Structure 1
């Protein structure tokens, strides 16, 4: 799925799973990249061909973590979730 922007792509089935599990759609997830204070970190837990990354920032006043890779010049989102107080 291309969200209409040339910057972000994702798999619709993966997005549906993410909405069920974390209640976050990937259009909302893409907004984290607009946060001027966002931070991007490498995901060292996965040894894959592609380098997985996390983007952490605020969307709607809440902290959101987005898991993604860079692929063919685009950001491919594959997971996202808001931080919850009960797991901090």
Structure 2
């Protein structure tokens, strides 16, 4: 079953300007068979939130998301060092 994605289009525009990543590209991180999903305990207030760290275009992309009615709702994405470090650690990649 192919996952379904959604996002707020105004947040997508803001994310593109701030981090250079459109949410349409961010959903590709979920297709990485070595992706790492972790709960975002620092920002989880009213709903559970998560990170997906996955390889996109040869780089590790960090995607912030939640599940709403069985749909993955993306609300942030960027190429962040911490996400790369987690991905490499979990996949035992040594550099």
TM-score bracket relative to the smaller structure: 0.7 to 0.9
Matches for 1:1-88 after TM superposition, within 5 Å:
7-83=4-80
**Structure showing the higher helix proportion among its residues:** 2
SS of residue matched to 2:29: helix
Shift of the alpha carbon at 1:76? Answer: 0.1
How many pairs are equivalent?
81
- After TM superposition, what 4+ stretches of structure 1 lie above 6 angstroms from structure 2? none
Rounded Cα–Cα distance in structure 2 between residues aligned with 1:47 and 1:55: 15
Q: Which moved more, 1:20-29 or 1:40-49?
A: 40-49
SS of residue matched to 1:45: coil
Aligned Cα root-mean-square deviation (Å): 1.7
5+ residue gaps in structure 1? none
